[in-house]
Amino acid sequence: MRIISGTARGRKILAPQGTSTRPIPDRAKTAIFNMIISLRMANGTPGLDGTRVLDLYSGSGSFGLECLSRGAGEVLFVEQNRSAAATIRTNLDTLGFADRAKIEARDVHAVLAGLPADRPYDLAFCDPPYANDPWDQLLPLIPADVLVAHSETPLALTPEWNELRRRSYGRPQIVVAERLWPNSTEPGTDAD
Intervals of the chain under pLDDT 50: 185-192
pLDDT of the residue at 101 = 98
Predicted pLDDT of residue 161: 96
Q: Is-contact 154 180, C-beta < 8 A?
A: no
Which pLDDT value is given to residue 168?
85
pLDDT of residue 47: 87
The pLDDT > 70 percentage for the chain reads 90
- In angstroms, the Cα distances linking 115 to 31, 56, 74, 119 are 29, 13, 15, 8
pLDDT for position 183: 66
- Strands in 101-104's sheet, in edge-to-edge order, are 101-104, 74-78, 52-56, 121-126, 144-151, 173-179, 161-168
d(C-alpha 109, C-alpha 1), whole Å: 28
**Amino acid 20: pLDDT:** 60
pLDDT for residue 133? 63
How many CA atoms within 13 Å lie on the side-chain side of 27? 6
pLDDT at 132: 67
Q: How far apart are CA 18 and CA 32, in angstroms?
A: 25
Q: What is the pLDDT of residues 98-120, one digit of tens each?
A: 999 999 999 999 999 999 878 89
pLDDT at 131: 62
Q: State the virtual CA torsion across 94, 48, 161, 153 in degrees, nearest 10.
A: -40
Q: How are the residues of the chain apportioned to helix, strand and coil, as percentages rounded to the nearest 5? A: 30, 25, 45
Which contiguous run of DSSP H or E holds residue 54?
A: strand 52-56
**115 CB-near residues (< 8 Å, 6+ apart):** 143
What structural domains does the chain harbor?
A: 31-181 (3.40.50.150)
